[in-house]
Amino acid sequence: MYCPQCGKEQPDEISFCCQCGAAVRGGPRANKKLTLAADDKKIAGVCGGFAKYLDVDVTLVRLIWVMLALVGGWGLIGYVIAWLIMPSEKAEEKSTATENRPVTAT
């Protein structure tokens, strides 16, 4: 097995490279961020964002929020707080695009 970072050959039983410390086993982890869903929303996209982040059905997440709202009202409070705190997908895409833009010398 070869290290994807430095290219050195490694024994098959290790998980990290002995030279550079990079992970040799497993694929690259997806950089998932919790954002408001732009395409799957009913009110604000909070449930759609949680469903994408957790890789579950959005209907299940909505049912859980409704049950939490009916039992003590904590679901409603949590929904409003999540709505205010979570960034939108469009804003996250813009910030990612500006980070990946090449810098030009002037």
Per-residue pLDDT reduced to its tens digit, 70-104 = 988 888 888 999 999 999 877 666 666 555 555 56
CA-CA distance, 76 to 53, in Å (whole number)?
20
Tell me which residue range forms the domain holding 71. Answer: 46-98
Residue 61: pLDDT band with limits 50, 70, 90: very high
pLDDT at residue number 60 = 94
The pTM (predicted TM-score) of the whole model is: 0.59
Residue 2: pLDDT above 70? yes
Residue 62: which of 94, 37, 31, 30 has the closest Cα? 37
Any idea what DSSP says for residue 42? S
Residue 49: pLDDT above 80? yes
54 and 79 inside one domain: yes
Higher pLDDT, 94 or 31: 31
25 and 51 inside one domain: no
Residue 47: which of 4, 80, 8 has the closest Cα? 80
- Number of folded domains in the chain? 2
CA-CA distance, 8 to 13, in Å (whole number)?
15
Within a domain: residue 85?
A: yes
Within a domain: residue 52?
A: yes
Locate 59 and state its tokens: 């209907």
